Chains A and B, each alone.
Chain A
Amino acid sequence: MELQDLQESVNIKMIQSGEKERLKDLLRERLAECGWEDEMRALCRGFMRNKVTNSVKLDDLINEITPKGKETVPDNVKAELLQRIRSFIAYAV
């Protein structure tokens, strides 16, 4: 199987089993606990405030914040999720 196909089939299994939703919930919870969410909210506010015009588009905001958001996810959160995904794959595939 091609790597891409494999990724796709794992992804679909994860969605169908509900594991993806559970992972998303877990991630959300962890990001809220460690203050990441608050930080992102503050970044967004700062971005909006520095704009002269009053209309910041959702796309602009996502563009601006996404790289910073990805960078600042704590390593232990990543590790925990990776572990969960590994054990799902071991179990499901």
Chain B
Amino acid sequence: MSSKINGQVSPHSCSHLLQFRRRNGPDSFRALQDCLRVKPPGGRASIRRDPAEVPCCQACGESGSNRLYACVTCAAVSCHAPQLTSHAAAHAQSMSPGHEIAVDVDRAELFCCECRDQVYDQGFDAAFVLAQNTATTTTGSTLMQYSAEPGNLRKRRRVDYRHWSPDSRECVTMTNLSTPLYDSTNSSDVPWGLRGLNNLGNTCFMNSVLQALLHTPLLRNYFLSDRHNRYHCQQKNVANNDGKNGRLCLACDVDAMFSAVFSGDRTPYSPAKFLYSWWQHAANLASYEQQDAHEFFISMLHRIHEKEEKDQGKPHSQGSGDCCIAHRVFSGILRSDVMCMACGFTSTTYDPCIDFPLDLEPNRGGSAKSSSTKSHNSCNVEAERISLNKDCSISTLKGCLERFTRPERLGSDQKFFCQKCQVRQECLKQMSIRKLPLVSCFHIKRFEHSSIRKMSRKVDGHLQFPFSLDMAPYLSSSILRSRFGHRIFPFDGDEQDAPNDLSSEFELFAVVTHTGRLDAGHYVTYLRFSNQWYKCDDAWITQVSENIVRAAQGYMMFYVQKMLCYRASEK
């Protein structure tokens, strides 16, 4: 007799548990809930009457090696070793009936000593999840140190890299049927396609993002393999008799730019045609004012998507992997669980995302000063930076991601309508990543725009970011496993384990940085080729050391799935 909760099959209850519930009513486990102790890191739970209690078996004094169970009826603690001694089973038999159900004191899980099996109670598990969430949300800072990573030792199951070079027949075919983009005898040690972009008047916001996109492996391969041919595209637009606006295609301009940048010409390139097109696409943004690099990134991907959707004449869905090139590369799916604090009912939604917006951690060189009562106009940015330098604690990208996926208690002004309670209730929200994009862009929210005070300000402060990143801990499957474990709890339990762990490993390849003030700052991009970093500062390209990159003030970080970037250095 299994029943369904929110579409999930729940295990049957044994007759002993049913009897216990019948005798004690709906609040059968109330007393137990008061003994529930949840340890902040990871949120593991145990049962202790007081924090210092050292539980041991009442019959034999055992406190170490075997499982210890506390009888939920009389609180007697007994040991239990499967098939060996079980004072728990003995207790249940000697006190029979009514003392069968016990709780594992180190796991806070219910057990029937008579059936010798785990049993589940929805009310108890709901109380557990609420207690766990309260513990993890109130003691956030301890979560940070827990993440101190001891190196990823997980076994690699990558497909081996095999070098391919064309045989003589293939060589002939290639030379006869193609024109090389550049002279391959040109033996410069600057990587192919690395070319400065001229500043066309406060356009470093654009150049910085273009540099990252031009060297996003999947975009580069797409355009260089002629998947969006600008000549064909324009012919098609003319044939379709599209109006002037119909002929606009940002992907065509990107295609032209890829050709120019990978032509072998090393002199700085002026993306004037691209800029002009972009202005036409985004007429309302056309101005020589400094723009935000992230807004540019988003709007550019959006234009590419729009055009393709229009051409194909059918709506695309961003997260599905069956969309425009922009979304195929950058789009992932976020999962959000909103849980009613009164009854535990959880509603789950999935939303496509094109990047991960992350807040700098508070009290860690980030927006700590937002709590101060000083007025924040742009002229005290300098003063703020000085005060920040005193703060020596460091924020990390992993810390930001942990905060991003941590349960968050929404304020009383953000109550949601609980379907079960049928009223608006306070709630707990948790985000996780259902599907990872092939390229993850992390957007550090350094600019705060307040429409009320009609001003913006920049959040300075250093953020450490790793060169390799394992995203596994932030996947919905991991988040749900660590949050619910094997509790029965009303959540949408269709999260599979990640298909394999290799797709969760990412490598950094581009960092867009911002220096200086909000209104008069400058964007620079660092790009990685094999293990060498290059600084792309508009027209100037220079080799830099890793340390310069690590010290830079990251604004947007681009990571690509490791399995997609075989690097020469990793042979």
Contacts and interface: CB of A to CB of B under 8 A. Distances in A.
B111 A33 contact: no
B63 A58 contact: no
A25 B145 CA distance: 13
Given A11-B63, A15-B63, A16-B52, A59 B152 contact: no
B64 A11 contact: yes
B83 A59 contact: yes
A89 interface: no
A93 B151 CA distance: 33
Contact of B82 (A29, A33, A63): A63
A62 interface: yes
Contact of A57 (B54, B117, B153): B117
Contacts of B385: none
Given A12-B54, A25-B41, A63 B150 contact: no
B83 A63 contact: yes
Contacts, number: 43
Contacts of A58: 111, 116-118
Interface string A33-57: 1110000000000000000000101
Given A12-B63, A59-B82, A34 B111 contact: no
Interface residues of A, number: 21
B374 interface: no
Contacts of B54: 12, 15-16
B200 interface: no
Interface in A58-93: 58-60, 62-63, 66
A80 B155 CA distance: 20
B282 interface: no
Contacts of A15: 54, 63
A29 B150 contact: yes
Contacts of B118: 58
Contacts of B150: 29-30, 33
**What is the predominant secondary structure among interface residues of chain A facing chain B?**
helix
Interface string B416-443: 0000000000000000000000000000
B13 to A, nearest CB: 13
A33 B39 contact: no
B153 A33 contact: yes
Interface string B40-57: 011000000000101000
B83 to A, nearest CB: 6
Nearest to A34: B153
Nearest to A32: B154
Interface string A4-42: 000110011001100001000100011001110000000
B115 interface: yes
Interface centre among B41, B117, B155 (most CB of A within 10 A): B117
A60 B39 CA distance: 29
A8 B559 CA distance: 51
Given A59-B116, A63-B82, A21 B39 contact: yes
A15 B111 CA distance: 24
Nearest to A57: B117
A57 B155 CA distance: 31
B131 to A, nearest CB: 18
B116 A57 contact: yes
Given A59-B82, A59-B117, A33 B52 contact: no
Contact of A33 (B42, B117, B154): B154
Nearest to A35: B155
Contacts of B39: 21
Contacts of A11: 63-64
A25 B153 CA distance: 17
B487 to A, nearest CB: 14
Nearest to A30: B150
Interface string B42-79: 10000000001010000001011000000000000000
Contact of A35 (B42, B83, B115, B154): B154
Nearest to B481: A41
A21 to B, nearest CB: 7
Interface in B61-111: 61, 63-64, 82-83, 111
Contacts of A12: 54, 63
B64 A62 contact: no
9 contacts: A11-B64, A16-B52, A30-B150, A33-B153, A34-B153, A58-B118, A60-B82, A63-B82, A66-B82
Given A7-B64, A25-B41, A55-B117, 11 more contacts: A11-B63, A12-B63, A15-B54, A16-B54, A33-B150, A58-B111, A58-B116, A59-B82, A59-B117, A63-B83, A66-B82
Interface of B: 39, 41-42, 52, 54, 61, 63-64, 82-83, 111, 115-118, 150-155
Interface of A: 7-8, 11-12, 15-16, 21, 25, 29-30, 33-35, 55, 57-60, 62-63, 66
